[in-house]
């Protein structure tokens, strides 16, 4: 019988039970193919908020997930969301092969994914996922399988910071034109993500969105109120009576301001 370590790794008994159930369901679909399951994100940084935080996981497989397996996983996640309604649209899982985790710098590979705001689907993932794999390798915990460092080659701090800088550039376009970004939840995500990007490019290390936001309020006092609002919006993501359009222009201005600040720092480094 597989030993599951989540009971030792989180302080939330109900989330340990949820993770145990999710792993068991994965193993039924990928009995010999699942190499490891890795928990990262806010549950590992200490800033997890059970009312608003997502649960971030990487499922490493021995080979690419096939179309048939993707169909089974899609059904599994649909059933899982039904059984754990509180966590519907708050589970983020990437299914990627060990080979892809070792070659992502040089080529893209097939990755199955379910992420908040999007259904289970298959994409091509390459170097644009370096930020995630850095955090998994450096701060993730193996719930099943070998340590992440055994399947993800070393990623330098310089590579990570450069990837964050590039992501900030892409995010500025998304927040201006993306439909999801125009919703209050998307605006909160953009503001807090840019706070984290600014923190990382200045300090050279990852941090949680909450810690980055608290830091950025001191670093950017002229934007402190908007950042505080973003933290509040993140908490109230279920609220329906919201004028999304009213706050979008200021969100765009903030994201562009931080993008330009990050770019200027990169040019001067």
pLDDT of 6 > 50? The answer is no
Phi, psi of 238 (to 5 degrees): -85, -10
Which residues, 6 or more positions from 83, have their beta carbon under 8 angstroms from its beta carbon?
21
Domain boundaries 6-150, corresponding CATH code: 3.30.460.10
pTM (2 d.p.)? 0.89
pLDDT at 117 over 90: no
Residue identified by tokens 């984290």 is 196
For residues 98 and 60, the answer to whether their CB atoms sit within 8 Å is yes
CA 211 to chain centre: 16
Taking the C-alpha atoms of residue 93 and residue 61, their distance in angstroms, rounded to an integer, is 12
Angle at 157 between CA 153 and CA 163, to 5 degrees: 90
Mean pLDDT, range 3-30, rounded to an integer: 82
Residue 66: pLDDT band with limits 50, 70, 90: very high
SS3 breakdown of the chain: % helix, strand, coil, rounded to 5?
60, 15, 25
Q: How confident is the model at residue 47 (pLDDT cuts 50, 70, 90)?
A: confident
pLDDT grade, residue 258 (50/70/90)?
very high
Q: Among candidates 178, 179, 177, 181, which has minimal Cα distance to 193?
A: 181
Cβ of 51: how many Cβ atoms within 10 Å?
11
Contact 35, 147 (CB under 8 A): no
Q: What is the pLDDT of residues 200-220, one digit of tens each?
A: 999 999 998 999 999 999 999
What is d(CA 267, CA 269) in angstroms, rounded to the nearest whole number? 6
For the chain, give the mean pLDDT.
91
Q: What is the DSSP letter of 11?
A: S
| 242 in Cβ contact with 184 (< 8 Å) | yes
Write down the H helix ranges in 41-107: 42-45, 67-83, 98-103
CB within 8 A of 160, min separation 6: which ones? Answer: 130, 131, 134, 200, 206
Q: Is the pLDDT of residue 141 over 70?
A: yes
The CA distance from 178 to 253, in Å, is 15
Best mean pLDDT range from 59-63, 116-120, 233-237: 59-63
Question: How does DSSP classify residue 126?
Answer: -
Mean pLDDT calculated for residue range 30-46: 92
Res. 49 pLDDT band, cuts 50 70 90? confident
Which single residue is written with the structure tokens 């519907």? 88
3-state secondary structure of 91: strand
Is residue 244's pLDDT more than 70? yes
Query: Which residue, 158, 174, 98, 160, is CA-closest to 128?
Result: 160
Q: Confidence class of residue 130 from pLDDT cuts 50, 70 and 90?
A: very high
Element (H, E) at 246: helix 244-268
Q: Give the CA radius of gyration of the chain.
A: 19
DSSP element (H, E) containing 34: strand 34-40
């Amino acid at each position: 019988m597989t030993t599951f370590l989540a009971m030792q790794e989180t302080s939330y008994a109900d989330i340990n039970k949820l993770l145990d159930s999710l792993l068991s369901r994965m193993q039924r679909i990928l009995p010999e193919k699942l190499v490891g399951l890795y928990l990262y994100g806010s549950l590992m940084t200490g800033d997890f908020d059970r009312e608003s935080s997502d649960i971030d996981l990487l499922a490493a497989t021995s080979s690419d997930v096939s179309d048939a397996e993707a169909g089974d996983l899609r059904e599994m996640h649909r059933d899982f969301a039904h059984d754990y309604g509180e966590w519907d649209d708050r589970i983020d899982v990437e299914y990627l092969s060990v080979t892809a985790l070792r070659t992502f710098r040089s080529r893209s590979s097939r990755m199955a994914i379910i992420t908040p705001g999007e259904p289970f689907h298959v994409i091509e993932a390459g170097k644009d996922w370096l930020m995630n794999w850095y955090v998994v390798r450096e701060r993730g915990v193996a719930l099943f399988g070998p340590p992440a460092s055994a399947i993800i080659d070393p990623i330098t701090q310089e590579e990570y910071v450069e990837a964050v800088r590039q992501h900030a550039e892409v995010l500025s376009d998304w927040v201006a034109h993306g439909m999801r970004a125009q919703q209050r939840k998307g605006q909160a995500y953009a503001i807090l993500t840019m706070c984290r990007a600014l923190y990382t490019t200045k300090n050279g290390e990852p941090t949680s969105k909450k810690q980055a936001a608290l830091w950025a309020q001191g670093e950017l006092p002229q934007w402190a109120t908007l950042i505080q609002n973003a933290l509040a919006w993140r908490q109230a993501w279920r609220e329906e009576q919201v004028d999304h359009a009213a706050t979008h222009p200021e969100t765009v201005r903030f994201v562009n301001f931080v993008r330009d600040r990050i770019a200027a720092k990169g040019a001067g480094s």
